[in-house]
Amino acid sequence: MKNIIKKWWFWPLIVGLVIRAILMPITLHPDLWGHSFVAYFFAYQGKLNIYEHLASLPLTHPLVRNFGVSDIFIYPPLTYFTLGFFRLLVKPFTDPAFIPWLMENLGEVHSYRSLFWHLFLFKFPYLFFDLGLAFLLAGLFNDEKKKKLAFALWILNPVTLYATFMVGQLDVLPTFFSVLSLYFAQRKKKSFAMISLGIGGSYKMYPLLFIPLAAFILGDNFKNRVKFILLGIFPYLLMVAPYLTSPAFRSMVLFSPKSQKMLFMNWKMTGAEGIYPFVLGLSLLYFYSYYVRKKMGLDKYFLATTLLIFSLTHYHPQWFLWVSPFLIIELVDNNFRYLFLVATLLFSWLIITFLFEPSLSLALFNPINPGLNKAIGISEILSKYIDVFQFKSIIRSLFAGCSIYYLYSLFGDKAKLKK
């Protein structure tokens, strides 16, 4: 035991676990129920094609009547298989009647005696990926001081605590495999690095955007780059192929409005045509990585891509977890040279988060005070004095400007090092 206590990761890990254990049972966002309903169908009823099952539910079904299915179950199948598998693991410790009762009595959830316990168990699986991420980030550094710092920054990262253990969202899953890809790439296991990105994209599709970048950087000729791209997309295609003929899957996942948010911003050229700034920026990154690939490490390209997403997309607050590990890597790697820029990004994210609906801020603590579900949002309060949408637009513009300068500085630093 003494040897374990002396480990560099021991005390940050203990503090992080205590904070997580406190937050997990006392915070709740409705999205957690969406994941729980699907996991229930998989774990208790053995439903494999969850999309067709949900689409075939009658209007009188309590899930359809009280929760709805059109805009909630929008993730690739591996997401629900994973959550269902973990739900099987905790099955002996849960009340099998809880989810059916919840479908019928969604508005009375706070009266359920073991609500805190179920909230803890439903978020518990994320701990495996969360802690794995902390050790992966530490493993990217050779210097012990930097290992400790990267580990502690992830364990105490407010975005991680918020998105994963308060909101209860699953973004930690694709984030884990994105960082695992960096870990494999650093160790020259290039094929595993590409496969990891494909697996990450099988949870949420944004890691698929990293595949061309990784292929262009890791491949030393055209043939290898094509091979790496195919390796990267193979896990995703393998998982979705059985569902491509399903109209419900296509409408809920492939062509849902949320999957196309990155195309909402459009510079009009005619009444029917335009230029998508996100596609424009992503194309520049791809071309740069193809032709000048040695000027920046792979993690910087991942950082650039995620900052591009958040600068040009109306993002949800929990999505900011995607960029968090890359910001930590850059901060530690560059000895906090750009701390002010990262602080500005974090500040902007925090303001945007508080200006979302109350369920994503104060109302998260509704398990300990159900009245918070009726709390007036900060956005509603501010709207009496200012144009809230204009204010949010200013904050988003600040975020975008900070991101552009941040990436300009990183690219510029690498270019100077090459001279």
pLDDT digits (tens, 9 = 90+) for 23-38: 999 999 988 988 888 8
Residue with tokens 């303001």: 351
Nearest 5°: phi and psi at 73? -95, 75
Looking at residue 112, its amino acid is: Y
Percent of residues, the chain, with pLDDT higher than 90? 59
Nearest 5°: phi and psi at 124? -55, -40
Percent of residues, the chain, with pLDDT higher than 70? 95
| Predicted confidence (pLDDT) per residue in 329-371, tens digit | 999 999 999 999 999 999 999 999 999 888 888 899 999 999 9
Cβ pair 414, 217 in contact under 8 A: no
Cα distance between residue 187 and residue 204, in whole Å = 25
The mean pLDDT of 386-414, rounded to a whole number, is 90
For the purposes of burial, counting CB atoms within 10 Å of the CB of 26, is it exposed (0-12), middle (13-18) or buried (19 or more)?
A: middle
Q: Which run of H or E residues covers position 275?
A: strand 274-275
Q: Categorize the per-residue pLDDT at 91 as very low, low, confident or very high, splitting at 50, 70 and 90.
A: confident
What is the crossing angle of helices 210-218 and 190-201, to 10°?
180
Whether 415 has a pLDDT exceeding 70, the answer reads no
The mean pLDDT of 76-100, rounded to a whole number, is 87
> In a 3-state reduction of DSSP, which class is residue 300?
helix
Whether 254 has a pLDDT exceeding 80, the answer reads no
Residue 24 DSSP class: T
Q: Helices (DSSP H) in 24-70: which residue ranges?
A: 31-45, 50-55, 62-66
pLDDT at 47: 80
> In a 3-state reduction of DSSP, which class is residue 274?
strand
pLDDT at 36: 86
Looking at residue 24, its amino acid is: M
Whether 276 has a pLDDT exceeding 50, the answer reads yes
| Predicted confidence (pLDDT) per residue in 196-219, tens digit | 999 999 999 899 999 999 999 999
The mean pLDDT of 35-55, rounded to a whole number, is 82
Calculate the average pLDDT of the chain.
Answer: 89
Please indicate whether residue 261 or residue 199 has the higher confidence score (pLDDT): 199
For the chain, the C-alpha Rg in angstroms (whole number) is: 22
Whether 39 has a pLDDT exceeding 80, the answer reads yes
pLDDT at 211: 97
Looking at residue 240, its amino acid is: V
Cβ pair 212, 228 in contact under 8 A: no
Q: Put residue 49 in one of left, alpha, beta given phi > 0 → left and psi -120 to 50 → alpha.
A: beta
Per residue, what are the HEC states of 140-207? CCCCHHHHHHHHHHHHCCHHHHHHHHCCCCCCHHHHHHHHHHHHHHHCCCHHHHHHHHHHHHCCCCHH
Burial 146-169 (b: 16+ CB within 10 A, else e): bbbbbbbbbbebebbbbbbbbbbb
pLDDT at 418: 45
Whether 4 has a pLDDT exceeding 50, the answer reads yes
Q: Categorize the per-residue pLDDT at 419 as very low, low, confident or very high, splitting at 50, 70 and 90.
A: very low
Task: Return the structure tokens found at 38.
Answer: 């699907």
Cα distance between residue 203 and residue 384, in whole Å = 40
Cα distance between residue 204 and residue 206, in whole Å = 6
CA 97 to chain centre: 30
pLDDT at 67: 83
Residue with tokens 């299915």: 69
> In a 3-state reduction of DSSP, which class is residue 266?
coil
Least Cα distance to 157 among 183, 142, 175, 180 occurs for: 175
